[in-house]
A and B are shown apart, each in its own frame.
Chain A
């Protein structure tokens, strides 16, 4: 709309006219003129011609007749209700709807700014929503069972060094079950790879042997057939199995005929009695369940299979009270059975607890992404602030017409909300994309079945809340500043080409805050990048990409004792050695770089009072070619060979850390150690002669970047082994050996498949997935923050230069050269960046401490990372200042003076 107001007041020589009556009349005349103007335009006149016609209409008029009305106090006043009074009387909802329409219209009028604002908010909201859906799916959602928050996992703990061995022995479980009052019931399971043999061949599934009441605590009934009954769980009972839904679908086409059928499970004919619902894969990622059929009487205390124990707290018990009771029960056990239980206690943790560290990491990342959102809001606030300054006249007039400060604030906040609403829509789309990418990046990671990341209702609700807050934040600051203006000041400022709403201290502070937040995020991102690169550069000291691995679990029902299994392993090893392309074949109970077993160890010459005092060491049983398969040379002594059979002298090979820690770094060859299974009596351990020394091979995996653990190796033939890894050193591509290896294994026993076939490098990478995935996320956050801060800085500088053309022009009139003016702009940009850097570095130091768990061999104050970030921010500041600086230097003096 053409600005008639000034014209009216100028030409009518009525500057002194004031009051609501005058304003009203001016508004009316302005409308009239506008109509004249628009009519002329629509009839084909040019803008200039139309304007002149309208102005002419005004000048012809006899204003004396009207004049009386315009002089203060002239004429009888019929005070029409103030326009906004009428509006105020309406319902608040009406008002809001009006404001929303008005805001939407205004935003449509400046599409460029609106687009930038919407995209900025969309990016911030989208990243936040992605991160929150990850946090929600992994930590907040919990198990999909009723009362899942009362489900606890129980485990033993060594009072000295914490780790008490894998699982809980049968007798302890039985004792707990009898004694504990705090639980509705106690259940247990033991994981077992279950091979199913049928017409389609052998398939291997993750299975679990469970107590009959295992699913009762979860409140999940079978979807077909029946669940386990106590009689199924008795030793010697007929073998039965419950199928996971996926197995039922793929092997039996989800037909009810499957119930009652028999299949060969681990070599034993087993009857299918029921099917569990889709998505149920308790306890972790399991697909088949059989009864545990515990027989405590058949096994010596301290021996036998180890169990994972869980139970549901009674409604009357709390975690703390149950813990107290459990501790007391463990103490009674320790005093009744000191040989096996001395020095041991028990702890319970919520079943779905992924661990303190992962939880801390996830929440830190959520905090980090909220930083990015904050930067988005600050950017949009700056944009709206800059625009409000060019609307100061319109806003002031609104205020003069009785709008009131609250109303103007409402308008600007509404604009923020409208922008945020659209941005929120984009954010949801971005979140869907982000979740998809995350799931693909973690597709090879085995996550528990209850982790469910997606745009569920709580996540969407979170998005709505975040959107509203973002909108209010973005609109509130400009609103408060803009609404505080007086009409005359605004009109005067506009007349002089400056703006009362200077891009001043507020804007600059916002930029400083943005830079600070960006620095913090970028430092985090930089540390992640360094960590991942350190991981990638890690010199393992053994062959990884050239070695193929897989797993074998000969079932106990077919191979009933140790010697049967040994014969199986011998035959399998011989077949594997014959596969074309295999240079060396080996079997072992652990993989270097991935993990190994743990045992208690006695060093000859040392005295220990109780079993729980024994030091722990990593331990693996390996076949003769193991070290050669990984291209590792022995440092002293010899490797295992054909001499080291079951009947021969028991021997061991130790690694360097073991030699340092337990043997004083002296001569190791010929010394003796005793190899004791965790939790078993010392006397059960075998004395072994050390025959070799090898380098440290990351026996606990590569994650632990502290000192490598002490470890020793024993010959495969000289100990009891149930599940083994296969290691095949390939002449060429190791994955090319896969088919040959599968066939070789099938030739020995077709019911036992070779599973988890991958390169050793692949297996190691799987253990470090979360460095890459979360590191990657952090990098995304960091760069999003940098981008947003740069855009914000550019926007603010641009507006600032635009508003100060007069000042620039005057400077140049007074002799400043273009370079000086440009330098001034750049200096100011760098000043803001520098202050932001200062705060940001402090913030970064604080954050990096919290992220230490995601860092690999990188100091949290790594100078290279900090240095690079500082330089990046400075460069960004320069870049953002470039265009505005050039514009400042090009200001046309004449244009300036006319302003």
Chain B
């Protein structure tokens, strides 16, 4: 829905935030993003997994095969401690950026 440039910049933050709390597998992450955004954010399979693999390479998340009773084995991702830190920094940065942008565009219309 939104401009793809905008989306891409915030993708990693979005994925990290969904993983804050409990480990999740790829499909869950996609569904949560869709749910939390009331359907306004949908990602293709390739995009989602390329983000996951990228931030996994960076060491911000770790993926593990986990089997829960009643379910088949799934690969679930969880935040590492570096990931937690990165998430906090990204959140702070986003809030700062958003407020600056608001300030600028609001100022023009004022």
Residues of A within 8 A of B (CB): 1, 24-25, 27-29, 31-32, 35-36, 57-58, 60-63, 65-66, 69, 75-76, 78, 80-81, 83, 86
Contacts and interface: CB of A to CB of B under 8 A. Distances in A.
B73 A83 contact: yes
A61 B25 contact: no
Q: Nearest 3 pairs between A and B by C-beta?
A: A61-B46, A83-B65, A65-B50
A62 B44 contact: yes
A75 B63 contact: no
A35 B53 contact: no
A31 B57 contact: no
Contacts of B63: 80
A58 B75 contact: no
Nearest to A80: B63
B49 A28 contact: yes
Given A75-B53, A75-B57, A24 B75 contact: yes
Contacts of A35: 27
Contacts of B56: 78
Nearest to B45: A61
Contacts of A57: 44-45
Interface in B64-104: 64-65, 72-75
A407 to B, nearest CB: 14
A62 B46 contact: yes
Contacts of B26: 28, 31-32
A61 B73 contact: no
Contact of A31 (B47, B53, B64, B74): B74
B64 A81 contact: yes
Question: Chain A contact residues: over half helix, strand or loop, or mixed?
Answer: helix
15 contacts: A28-B25, A28-B26, A28-B49, A29-B45, A31-B25, A31-B75, A35-B27, A57-B44, A61-B44, A62-B44, A65-B47, A69-B50, A80-B64, A81-B64, A83-B73
B59 A32 contact: no
Contacts of B44: 57, 60-62
Contacts of B62: 78, 80
Contacts of A75: 53, 57
Most B CB contacts (10 A, CB to CB) among A28, A29, A58, A86 go to: A28
Contacts of A80: 62-65, 75
Nearest to A57: B45
Given A62-B44, A80-B64, 20 more contacts: A1-B72, A28-B25, A31-B25, A31-B26, A31-B75, A32-B26, A32-B27, A60-B45, A61-B44, A63-B46, A65-B46, A66-B46, A66-B50, A75-B57, A80-B62, A80-B63, A80-B75, A81-B64, A83-B65, A86-B65
Contacts of B27: 31-32, 35-36
Nearest to B43: A61
A32 B49 CA distance: 10
Interface of B: 25-27, 44-47, 49-50, 53, 56-57, 59, 62-65, 72-75
Contacts of A31: 25-27, 72, 74-75
B49 A66 contact: yes
Contacts of B45: 29, 32, 57-58, 60-61
Given A28-B26, A78-B56, A62 B47 contact: yes
A25 B75 CA distance: 9
Contact of B75 (A27, A66, A76): A27
A76 B73 contact: no
A78 B63 CA distance: 9
Contacts of A65: 46-47, 50
Nearest to A38: B27
Nearest to A84: B65
A60 B27 CA distance: 16
Contacts of B75: 24, 27-28, 31, 80
B5 to A, nearest CB: 15
A24 B27 CA distance: 15
A57 B59 CA distance: 28
A615 to B, nearest CB: 83
Contacts of B65: 80, 83, 86
A81 B72 CA distance: 18
Nearest to A36: B27
A665 B65 CA distance: 97
B97 to A, nearest CB: 25
Most B CB contacts (10 A, CB to CB) among A32, A36, A80, A81 go to: A32
Given A28-B26, A61-B45, A66 B72 contact: no
A211 B45 CA distance: 96
A61 B47 contact: yes
Most A CB contacts (10 A, CB to CB) among B44, B56, B73 go to: B44
Nearest to B63: A80
A29 B49 contact: yes
B80 to A, nearest CB: 11
B106 to A, nearest CB: 36
A237 to B, nearest CB: 78
Nearest to A25: B49
Contacts of A63: 46
A502 B50 CA distance: 42
Contact of B59 (A60, A61, A78): A78
A66 B74 contact: no
A78 B82 CA distance: 15
Most B CB contacts (10 A, CB to CB) among A1, A29, A80, A86 go to: A80
A108 to B, nearest CB: 14
A35 B44 CA distance: 14
A9 to B, nearest CB: 15
Nearest to A54: B45
A35 B53 CA distance: 20
B53 A69 contact: yes
A173 to B, nearest CB: 74
A411 B1 CA distance: 49
A76 B57 contact: yes
A57 B43 CA distance: 10
B50 to A, nearest CB: 4
Nearest to B44: A61
B45 to A, nearest CB: 5
A36 B30 CA distance: 11
A27 B72 CA distance: 11
Contacts of A66: 46, 49-50, 53
A644 B2 CA distance: 131
A80 B47 CA distance: 21
Contacts of B46: 61-63, 65-66
A58 B27 CA distance: 13
A848 to B, nearest CB: 56
Most A CB contacts (10 A, CB to CB) among B46, B59, B62 go to: B46
A102 to B, nearest CB: 10
A281 to B, nearest CB: 57
A58 B48 CA distance: 12
Nearest to B50: A65
A31 B45 CA distance: 12
B29 to A, nearest CB: 10
Nearest to A76: B57
Contacts of A60: 44-45
Contacts of A69: 50, 53
Contacts of B25: 28, 31
B58 to A, nearest CB: 9
Nearest to A61: B46
A69 B49 CA distance: 10
Contacts of B53: 66, 69, 75
Contacts of B49: 25, 28-29, 66
A81 B44 CA distance: 27
A452 to B, nearest CB: 46
A63 B74 CA distance: 22
A183 B62 CA distance: 80
B54 to A, nearest CB: 9
A60 B45 CA distance: 8
Nearest to B56: A78
A78 B57 contact: yes
Nearest to A21: B53
A83 B65 CA distance: 6
A22 to B, nearest CB: 13
